[in-house]
Amino acid sequence: MTGYRPMTMADLGSRLTRATDVKVRWKLVWEFMEEYRWEPDDVQPSLLRDEPSPVGDERWDALLAALAEHLAARHDLAPPEWTELRILRRPWFPAELKIQRADALVRAPAAFRKHGVYLSASDLEAA
């Protein structure tokens, strides 16, 4: 029996690649967020370090970069180098409802706006 090991950003990328259903992909992102929250502050940055392989959808690749940059900023750290080039040319609003999209336009964290992913900060906190 092996011990518990928290999901890393690279692990999340691999799991997203294997999951084709959008709902499953979001569940994986929320699972990563939950595991990340439970790790001690000194361990959290190490979960962001390794670059995930491309998911096969540039939107999800940009989301991973935005999430890593957002979480690194909480520790007052520079984003991992691998996040630098994962920026969308056209903005992505994952929310389905117009009101949610409007909220995301106003409340998306800076790292997400930078990468072209418009996800509301409240959506991240709810995860």
Contact 62, 92 (CB under 8 A): yes
Structure confidence at residue 22 as a pLDDT band (50, 70, 90):
very high
Q: What's the confidence (pLDDT) of residue 1?
A: 55
Structure confidence at residue 126 as a pLDDT band (50, 70, 90):
low
Q: What's the confidence (pLDDT) of residue 103?
A: 87
**Per-residue pLDDT at 2 exceeds 80:** no
Secondary structure (3-state) at 103: helix
Q: What's the confidence (pLDDT) of residue 52?
A: 97
The 10s digit of each residue's pLDDT in 27-75 is 999 999 999 999 999 999 999 999 999 999 999 999 999 999 999 999 9
**Residue 37, Cβ density class (10 Å: 0-12 exposed, 13-18 middle, ≥19 buried):** exposed
Alpha carbons 87 and 42: distance in angstroms, whole number: 28
pTM of the predicted structure, to 2 decimals? 0.92
**Per-residue pLDDT at 77 exceeds 80:** yes
Mean pLDDT along residues 117-124:
84
